[in-house]
């Protein structure tokens, strides 16, 4: 319990800063909606000049940016990207910070099993993500309502919000696994940004191919806003795939951490 509470307290500053970043991004883009949608004909004429592959890569090929739900579909792809960076950074940090701070021997000398350490730290990460997602949903929905309350599809907005948490779980699994297989991580952000943007670039390439050949390789393809808008439900197979990858990586991280030779210096 002490490990969990201490870890969560240490994460509060990062939780606050990333959540504010997400909210500012959302508010800034939403505030531009009325300007963008003021003249639909001009907007459609401008977008028509872009190749379909380009529009697909940046997430607005299958939605109308002059309609609030389509605009939110496009916007949320970038909100989810920020959320993915946060979850990856958090999960890489929790099991590698003791080695970087040279306090691993102090923690492991306590009467606590290694699996309990992982469980406590993972619980703090998941709580941080849950708090962030609740805050983002509760503070972004009113902003969207102010812009166009009559057209907002609440179920669609809930699906968009839920998709961020599911993508974050994927990167929590990746982050924990990376943190236990690497002997020492000197700096978290290069690892975090490198991995997250690798998956995001795969998604952009996949979208531009228009044949979706790489869909299973990146979580950014599992819960696209355009598909959520047209179907108003998650694709069950991608939910299962996402949770399966998270579970497998989590179990592997537990196993490796149990046997890992950890040095304080």
pLDDT band at 111 (very low <50, low <70, confident <90, very high): low
CA 41 to chain centre: 34
pLDDT in tens, 240-251: 999 999 999 999
Residue 86: what pLDDT?
96
Q: Residue 176 and residue 95: Cα distance in Å, rounded?
A: 7
Answer whether residue 50 shows pLDDT above 70.
no
The count of residues in the chain is 265
Taking the CA atoms of the chain, what radius of gyration do you get in angstroms? 20
The two three-digit tokens of residue 60, written as one number = 């607005």
What average pLDDT is seen over the chain?
84
Q: Structure pTM? A: 0.88
CA dist 237 → 147, 193, 226, 233, 241 (Å): 34, 27, 17, 12, 6
pLDDT in tens, 80-92: 999 999 999 999 9
Residue 165: what pLDDT?
96
Calculated CA dihedral for residues 142, 234, 78, 193, nearest 10 degrees? 130
Percent of the chain at pLDDT above 70? 81
Answer whether residue 196 shows pLDDT above 60.
yes
Domain definitions of the chain by residue range: 2-259
Residue 38: what pLDDT?
65
Nearest to 102 by CA among 174, 186, 181: 186
């Amino acid at each position: 319990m002490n490990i969990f509470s201490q870890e969560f307290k240490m994460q509060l500053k990062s939780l606050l800063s990333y959540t504010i970043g997400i909210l500012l991004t959302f508010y800034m883009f939403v505030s531009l909606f009325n300007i963008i949608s003021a003249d639909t004909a001009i907007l459609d004429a401008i977008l028509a000049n872009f190749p379909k592959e380009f529009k697909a890569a940046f997430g607005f090929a299958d939605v109308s940016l002059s309609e609030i739900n389509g605009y939110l579909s496009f916007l949320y792809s970038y909100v989810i990207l920020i959320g993915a960076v946060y979850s990856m950074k958090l999960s890489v940090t929790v099991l590698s910070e003791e080695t970087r701070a040279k306090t691993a021997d102090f923690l492991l000398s306590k009467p606590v099993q290694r699996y309990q350490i992982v469980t406590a730290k993972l619980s703090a990460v998941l709580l941080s993500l849950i708090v962030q997602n609740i805050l983002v949903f509760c503070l972004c929905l009113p902003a969207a309502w102010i812009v166009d309350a009559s057209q907002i599809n609440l179920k669609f907005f809930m699906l968009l919000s839920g998709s961020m948490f599911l993508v974050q779980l994927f990167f929590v699994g990746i982050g924990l696994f990376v943190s236990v297989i690497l002997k020492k991580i000197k700096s978290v952000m290069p690892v975090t940004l490198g991995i997250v943007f690798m998956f995001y670039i795969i998604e952009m390439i996949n979208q531009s191919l228009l044949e979706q050949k790489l869909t299973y390789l990146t979580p950014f393809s599992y819960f696209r806003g355009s598909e959520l808008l047209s179907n108003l439900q998650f694709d069950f197979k991608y939910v299962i795939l996402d949770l399966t990858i998270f579970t497998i990586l989590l179990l592997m991280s537990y196993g490796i951490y149990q046997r890992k030779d950890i040095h304080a210096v």
